[in-house]
Chains A and B, each alone.
Chain A
Amino acid sequence: MRAKLSVNLLLRANFSRLWRSASFWVSVAVMSAISVFELAVGYQPRLQGGAGILDNRYMIFALLSGVVLSAFCSLFTGSEYSDGTMRNKVAVGHSRTAVYLSNLAVCAAAGVLACCGYILPMVIVGVPLLGPFTMSVSSLLWFTLCAFIMTAAMCAIFTMIAMLNQNKAVVAVICIFLAYFLLFLGIYLNTRLTEQAVIPAREYIENGQILVREAMPNPSYVQGVKRTVFEILYGLPGCQAVQLLATAEACPVRLPLASLGAIAVSTTAGAALFRRKDLK
């Protein structure tokens, strides 16, 4: 009796592989180790009588997830090609779309779980150690949800790259480079977009005289079409991590919407190209 093939079978098989995957547990371990490191660094000022603010340290996982998951997704999906097991799934009659979606789902789930590897020590150890969060629970949950969606979007992009290229090493290099590129692009865009439009007037003393410098337009201020382009790029997953940190408590709805858009576009394009791809 042959069971009807469905994406559920592939999900079950992929999750069972995930629990055995060394790259997954290394990703979780790296995130947890960084979380513990951040707690240790945050605890220093508290020992000296200062305040150890948990909020900023908590939010760092949004910055890290892209870089860590770029390696994980390329290795996890890439091994399907390098071990040749992608062929088993297609040859027994699973549809290419089902193969693509199951890989995406497992990578996204792994991404969220790796983030939890950071979050759990932060909450379980961080709260007793550094004191409670200063932002409200609802803001915290909203930020976390936005970061999870962005992580899933990053995984969707990495999965697309990994599913369309059969060379695992090349995929790993492209994904890791892309993760860093988006992160540094986000930092650059944040700097440029937070420039003030006008340099305010200020008084200063020169040769004993009080002089006043008039308010003047800031030449570094980005405006017009360039600003629109910068703002769009700032919403990209990866770049968005910087924006999430900058806006933390009041993360605008457009950020998770942009991430969902990135998931939809990359998955539609990736699955369509994968359907036509000659597998070897």
Chain B
Amino acid sequence: MEYILETNNLIKHYKNGRALNGLTMHVEKGAIYGFVGRNGAGKTTLIRLVCGLQEPTEGTFTLYGCPNQSKEITRARRRMGAVVETPSIYLSMTAEENLKQQYQILGLPSYDGLKDLLELVRLGNTGKKKARDFSLGMRQRLGIAVALAGDPDFLILDEPANGLDPQGIVEIRELILRLNRERQITVLISSHILDELSRLATHYGFVDNGRMVKEISAPELEASCRKCLRLTVSDARPLTTALDKMGLEYSVRSDTEVDVYDAPSVTELTLALHNAGCEVKNIHEHDESLESYYMNLVGGGSDD
């Protein structure tokens, strides 16, 4: 497995407490990694550390296999683009001027590709309009364009949908998907808008109180969130025999609990179980969304 970013037991102390409390995570190459957590969970702090804006108090991370203590980390960061918290753009400049600034900072030999980049983020027709007159969505897209100026393989977006209207959210989502599919850019997105994230992410990392609670791929998550019938019976063995005979997909949760994924004939199933001497104690439809999965994982406490 090739990882773009791996963190190992990262700890970050601020004056008012710990923001990261031994965070370990793995961002696979080519993934859209949804970094999920409530406000104050440590998402932005991790991004600041990876971007070199802050130093970890303890722990390490590697970016493209390069350890954070190594001098080569700055070279690794050149392959990365980031929008941390708010878009980092000069409000007194136009979209094109902002990109030219970034091209100069990166030492790119010419402005070739600048127009294409503006078109990619749908800001090609903004002309002499200053960034301060842009909508929030336009600023966010310009911030992404600035982050893409160095042609990165890894893009970090911190709450990219925050404050955007529905149209803006759709535009950002489409842009991220395009970047991932067409340019094979690995994306790390921090967010607490779970519904939006579930439409994008191929992997998830659930963080709470500065710790990674669970890392899971989208198919794994989908499997655990699939709509199913959850049957509680006196003994799961006759039930699995009956399900096998009926050719239905299922998973055994315990000696007495089984999730059935296909839509079975409940009458047929209960009759089969009755004949096998198995008592059906409870049947209910189980449909876990990303939101409920997350709430089950971290508990439903209030935001800090």
Q: Which residues of chain A have a CB within 8 Å of any CB of chain B? A: 1-6, 9-10, 12-13, 16-17, 20-22, 79, 83-95, 276, 278-280
Which B residues lie within 8 Å of A89 (CB)? 105
Across the interface, do B104 and A9 meet the contact criterion of CB distance under 8 Å?
yes
Residue of B nearest to A90 (CB): B52
- Asked if A88 meets B105 with Cβ closer than 8 Å, knowing A95-B74, A278-B53, A280-B48, the reply is yes
Q: Which residues of chain B have a CB within 8 Å of any CB of chain A? A: 14, 48, 51-55, 73-82, 84-93, 97, 100-102, 104-109, 146, 150
Which B residues lie within 8 Å of A22 (CB)? 92
Across the interface, do B109 and A279 meet the contact criterion of CB distance under 8 Å?
no
Q: For A12, A16, A83, which residue has the most chain B Cβ atoms within 10 angstroms? A: A83
Within the assembled complex, what's the spacing in Å between the Cα atoms of A9 and B108? 9
Instruction: Count A-B pairs with CB separation below 8 Å.
Output: 102
Across the interface, do B105 and A91 meet the contact criterion of CB distance under 8 Å?
no
- Asked if A93 meets B78 with Cβ closer than 8 Å, knowing A3-B106, A9-B107, A16-B100, the reply is yes
Which B residues lie within 8 Å of A276 (CB)? 55
Which A residues lie within 8 Å of B86 (CB)? 84
Apart from the given pairs A3-B109, A5-B74, A5-B106, 17 other A-B contacts in the complex at a CB distance below 8 Å: A3-B106, A9-B107, A12-B104, A17-B90, A20-B97, A21-B92, A83-B91, A84-B88, A87-B88, A89-B105, A90-B51, A92-B81, A93-B52, A95-B74, A276-B55, A278-B55, A280-B48
Residue of B nearest to A275 (CB): B55
Within the assembled complex, what's the spacing in Å between the Cα atoms of A93 and B104? 14
Which A residues lie within 8 Å of B79 (CB)? 2
Which A residues lie within 8 Å of B105 (CB)? 9-10, 13, 88-89, 92, 94
* 14 sampled A-B residue pairs with Cβ under 8 A: A1-B109, A2-B79, A3-B109, A9-B107, A16-B100, A22-B92, A85-B90, A87-B88, A88-B88, A90-B51, A93-B73, A94-B74, A278-B55, A279-B54
Across the interface, do A91 and B80 meet the contact criterion of CB distance under 8 Å?
yes
Across the interface, do A20 and B104 meet the contact criterion of CB distance under 8 Å?
no
- Asked if A2 meets B106 with Cβ closer than 8 Å, knowing A13-B101, A278-B54, A279-B48, the reply is yes
Which A residues lie within 8 Å of B84 (CB)? 84, 87, 91
Which A residues lie within 8 Å of B51 (CB)? 87, 90-91
Cβ distance A65 to chain B, nearest Cβ, rounded Å: 24
Across the interface, do B107 and A3 meet the contact criterion of CB distance under 8 Å?
yes
Residue of A nearest to B82 (CB): A91
Neighbour of A92 across the interface among B55, B90, B97, B106, CB < 8 A? B106
Which B residues lie within 8 Å of A5 (CB)? 74, 78, 106-107
Within the assembled complex, what's the spacing in Å between the Cα atoms of A196 and B216? 83
Residue of B nearest to A22 (CB): B92
Across the interface, do A3 and B77 meet the contact criterion of CB distance under 8 Å?
no
Q: For A20, A88, A278, which residue has the most chain B Cβ atoms within 10 angstroms? A: A88
Cβ distance B215 to chain A, nearest Cβ, rounded Å: 24
Neighbour of A93 across the interface among B77, B88, B100, CB < 8 A? B77
Which B residues lie within 8 Å of A17 (CB)? 90, 101
Cβ distance A27 to chain B, nearest Cβ, rounded Å: 15
Residue of A nearest to B98 (CB): A85
Cβ distance B35 to chain A, nearest Cβ, rounded Å: 17
Residue of B nearest to A15 (CB): B104
Which B residues lie within 8 Å of A278 (CB)? 14, 48, 53-55
Residue of B nearest to A276 (CB): B55
Cβ distance A103 to chain B, nearest Cβ, rounded Å: 13
Cβ distance B187 to chain A, nearest Cβ, rounded Å: 15
Cβ distance A90 to chain B, nearest Cβ, rounded Å: 5
Neighbour of A87 across the interface among B76, B82, B106, CB < 8 A? B82
